[in-house]
Chain A
Amino acid sequence: MELYSNMSKKNKILVVAAFTLILSLAAFGCTSGGKESTTGTGETEGESKNLSGNIKIDGSSTVAPISEAVAEEFMAVNPSVQVTVGTSGTGGGFKKFTVGEIDISDASRHIKDEEKEAAEKSGIEYVEIPIAYDGISIVVNHDNDWAKSITVEELNKIWAPDSKVKTWKDVRADWPDEKLVLYGPGTDSGTFDYFTDEINGEEGASRTDYSASEDDNVLVQGVAGDKGALGYFGYAYYAENTSKIKALSVDGGDGAIEPNETTIKDGTYKPLARRLFIYVNKKALERPEVKAFLKFYLTEGRTLVSEVGYVPLNDAEYEQSLKLVE
C-alpha cells in the first residue's frame, strides 16, 4: 500500500509536469516577444490617428492576395487595427457577408440575385467597389506549337455543356489530331462563373468532363505536364509561370489579342478581362477604421495590386471608387 501511494505521488509530479509543458507551450505563444509587423510603404496623409478595432474580410481567394497586401501595409501604419482575411471563395464570402458576419467581402464577380435577396432579408446595405483588373488566361502546354490564338466561338465549342470536342482537330481543322485535355476551376470559383457566363452565355453552364481544381497551381501543373492540355485561370498564375505554359490570344470578334497588363487594363482583351471587387457593409463603413482602411486600399493599394500579380485600375477609376467610400 505504501508502495502505491508513494508511486502516485511521483506520478502526480509527472501529471503536473505534463500539464505545465502544455500550458507553457501556450504561454510561449502569447508572451514571447514578436517582432513588429513589417515596415510600411511610408506615411499616409495623417491617417494614423490612433485608430483601433477589427476589420473582418473574407471571400474570393483570387482577390485575397490584394486584400492581404493592403492589410499588411495598413497595419504597419495603424498597429492597433486588426485586419483579418479569409479565403472562403466568392460565394462563401457572400454567405457570411449577407448575414453580417464580416465587414468586407472579396469578390471576383458581381453579387448574384439570390445573394442580394439574402442581404435584403438581414437588412444589410452595401457598396460595390472595383479594385483591380484580372484577365482570365487561356493557357496551353509549352510544346503546343500549333495553337497561337483561339476565337470565342471555338472556346464555346470546347466548353459548351453538350460539347463533343475530343481532339484539337475537332476545334479547328488544321490543328493536329492530338487529344484535348481540359483543365479549369471548380464550380465554387468566381472565375468559373465569369468564364461560363462570357463563353457559354449562361453562368454555371459548362461541360463537366474536365480536371477541376480550386487550387490554380494544380491547374498550372496539369497544363505544364500534358502536351494536349488547355486550361483557363487568372492572369497572375499565367504571369508567374510563363516558363512552363503559354497563353493563347483570344479573338472576341476584333482580332486576336494576347493577355497582358495593357490589353487587360484598356479592355481590349475581350471578353475575358474582368474587374475584381470588394463589397463593403454600409454600417461598417461608418466606423472610422474601416473608412480609413478603404481609403488606404484605393490610394496606397494601387501599387500593391501589381506587386501581387494583378492589373491596377486607371487612376480615374480609383478616384471614382474613392467617391463611393466618402
Chain B
Amino acid sequence: MEEESVALQRRSKRRATLDVAFHGLVLMATAFALIALAVLMFDVFRKGLGWLDFQFLVSFPSRIPERAGIYSSLTGTLWVTAITALFAFPIGVATAIFLEEYAPKNRLMNFIDINIANLAGVPSIVYGILGLAIFVRGMMLGRTVLAGALTMTLLVLPIMIITSREAIRSVPSSLRLAFLAMGATQWQTIRHIVLPASLSGIFTGSILTVSRAIGETAPLILIGALSFVAFVPRSPLDEFTVLPIQIFSWVSRPQAEFSNLAAAAIIVLLIVLLSMNAVSVWLRLRFEKRNSK
C-alpha cells in the first residue's frame, strides 16, 4: 500500500517535470521566432531610419545615395497591388460563391477542389514563368504593370478562393434555408443573407492575400520587371518596378550607403503591409460588431 503511493507520487512528479519541460520548450520556440524578428527589425531600423524622409518617398532612384528614392517603385507597387485586387477580388469571390452555393457535388467538382488547393501551394516563381509565357509574350503585353498584375492575380486567386469559401461556408445554413423557405430565389439568398454575413471574412482574407502579393519578387523578376525606372507609370501599359525589386537592386550595390537605402525601403514596405493588415482587422471588427447587434 505504502509502496504503491510512493510509486504514484514519483509518477506524478515525473509528469509534473515533463509538463514544465514541455512548457519551457514551446516558450523557447516562440522566443526564438520573436528574437529573430526583433534582431531583424532592429537592424533594419538602425540602418534605415536616418535615410527615411519625405524626399525619399518622392525621389527617383539615383547613383548618388543622398538623391535616391523610391517614388517609382512605391507607385509601381501600389499600381500592381490595386490592379491585382481589381481582378482577383471579383473573380475569386464569384468562384467561391459558385463552388459553395451552386456547384453540384460530383467528381468533377471534387477534382476542381483538389486542383485549387494544389495551386495555392505552387511556388510563386512558377506563376512567373506562366506570366512570362501568357501575358508578356503570348498576349504581347510586354513588361507592363498590367502583365505584372495579371501574373499576381494568378498567384493570389487560389488562396483568395479558398479563404472566401471558408467565409461563405461559415454562414449557418439555417439562415439560408429560412430565407429560401420564405420564397426567396437563390440569388436573393446569396445577396441578402450569405454575402452580408460572410463579407467580413471575405474582406479579411482578400486583403491578407493581396498583401502577400506586395512582398513577392520572384514572379515579377521573371516576367522582367526592371531595376531602374525613373518615371512613374501613368497607365497599366507602362513599364514599372516594385519595392522588393528596388530593395534587391540596392542591396547588391557595392557602396554601403545603398544597403541603408534598402533598409529604408524595407521600412516603407513594412508600413504598407502593416497598414493593409490594419485595414483588414478594422473591417473585421466593424462587421463583427454589426453582426452581433
Contacts and interface: CB of A to CB of B under 8 A. Distances in A.
A287 interface: no
Nearest to B203: A18
Interface stretch (B4-12, B16-24, B36-44, B249-257): B249-257
B59 interface: yes
A304 interface: yes
B215 interface: no
Interface residues of A, number: 57
Interface residues of B, number: 55
Interface string B196-237: 100100010000000000000000000011111111111000
B232 A308 contact: no
A101 B142 CA distance: 9
A84 B71 CA distance: 15
Contact of A241 (B199, B228, B254): B254
A32 B251 CA distance: 28
Contact of A15 (B60, B64, B79, B199): B199
B278 to A, nearest CB: 12
Interface in B48-98: 55, 58-64, 67, 71, 74-76, 78-79, 81-83, 85-86
Nearest to B78: A29
Nearest to A84: B226
B229 A84 contact: yes
Interface string A82-124: 1111111000000010000100000000000000000000000
A309 interface: yes
Interface centre among A54, A68, A71, A83 (most CB of B within 10 A): A68
A200 to B, nearest CB: 26
Interface of A: 1, 4-5, 7-8, 10-11, 14-15, 18, 21-23, 25-26, 28-30, 32-35, 37-38, 54, 56, 58, 61, 64-65, 67-69, 71-72, 75, 82-88, 96, 101, 215-217, 236-237, 239-241, 304, 307-309
Interface of B: 55, 58-64, 67, 71, 74-76, 78-79, 81-83, 85-86, 143, 182, 191-193, 195-196, 199, 203, 224-234, 239, 249, 251-256, 259, 279, 283, 286-287, 290-291
Given A84-B239, A87-B227, A237-B254, 17 more contacts: A4-B192, A14-B286, A22-B82, A30-B75, A34-B232, A35-B58, A35-B71, A38-B67, A56-B239, A64-B227, A72-B230, A82-B230, A85-B228, A86-B143, A240-B256, A241-B254, A304-B63
